[in-house]
A and B are shown apart, each in its own frame.
Chain A
Amino acid sequence: AAGVIQSPRHLIKEKRETATLKCYPIPRHDTVYWYQQGPGQDPQFLISFYEKMQSDKGSIPDRFSAQQFSDYHSELNMSSLELGDSALYFCASSWDLRKNTGELFFGEGSRLTVL
C-alpha cells in the first residue's frame, strides 16, 4: 500500500540558508500535518492543511511557511535557518480528523541538519 512520501530524507544546510521539504500524502487523504521532532524530544505539531487551506497552526516559527497544493502534496519552507532548526521533520496525512477518528499516517521523516 502507498505510504506518505517525504523528500529529501536528509538535508544539510548552513545557518541563514533556506530549505524546502516536500510531502506526498497517501492517495485520497485530504489532510496533511507537519511535525518537528528535535533530538530526544517528542514530535511537536507545526501546521496542518485540509483541502489546501490551513486548518490548524501550532508552534511554527514565523520564518517557516507551508502550503498544500492542488494535488494535495505539501511543502514546508524554512528560511533564515538557525542551529536550533536541526530536527527530524515528519509529515503525516489522514482524512479530515474532525470528521473521522482515524489515525495519522506518518512518513519516514526528513532530517535537517543546520551547520
Chain B
Amino acid sequence: AQSVTQLDSQVPVFEEAPVELRCNYSSSVSVYLFWYVQYPNQGLQLLLKYLSGSTLVKGINGFEAEFNKSQTSFHLRKPSVHISDTAEYFCAVKWRGAQKLVFGQGTRLTINP
C-alpha cells in the first residue's frame, strides 16, 4: 500500500537553530512530492513541491527540501528557524497515475526562544 511516514511527531528546536523534518514514502515509482504547513486554526498552505528536475527544491519562508529517490525520502530543512515557524508540517505524495494526495502523519515544530 502507498504510504507516507513522517518519523517525528514533534520536533522542538531553539530559535535560530537549524531544523530537519523527515519524510519517507513507500514506493520508488514516479512520485510528486509536497510539503504543506498548517498554522494553528488555519488551512493547509503549500511550502514547496518536487515535480521533476533538480532534487533540491526551495520553497517559501526559507525552507528547502531534497528528493532522494534511492532512499525514498523528501526531508524538509531550514538553516535558521524563527518563532513564526511554529506550526504543523505535512509531507504529501502523489503517485503518478493516481489522483489524490496521501499525507503523512504530520510533524509539530515548536520553536523555543
Binding site for B on A (CB under 8 A): 31, 33, 35, 41-45, 48, 50, 55-56, 58, 90, 92, 96-98, 101, 103-109
Q: How many residues of B contact A (CB 8 A)?
A: 23
Task: Given the known inter-chain contacts A97-B94, A103-B49, A108-B42, please indicate yes or no for A45 contacting B101, CB distance below 8 A.
Answer: yes
Mask of B35-62 contacts with A, CB within 8 angstroms, 1/0: 0100000111110010110000000000
Tally of A-B Cβ pairs under 8 angstroms: 55
Provide the bound-state CA to CA distance between A45 and B99, in Å: 11
Which residues on the B side are within 8 Å of A50 (C-beta)?
Answer: 99
Binding site for A on B (CB under 8 A): 32, 34, 36, 42-46, 49, 51-52, 90, 94, 97-106
Task: Given the known inter-chain contacts A42-B105, A107-B43, please indicate yes or no for A101 contacting B51, CB distance below 8 A.
Answer: yes
Q: Are B100 and A106 neighbours in the complex by a CB distance under 8 Å?
A: no
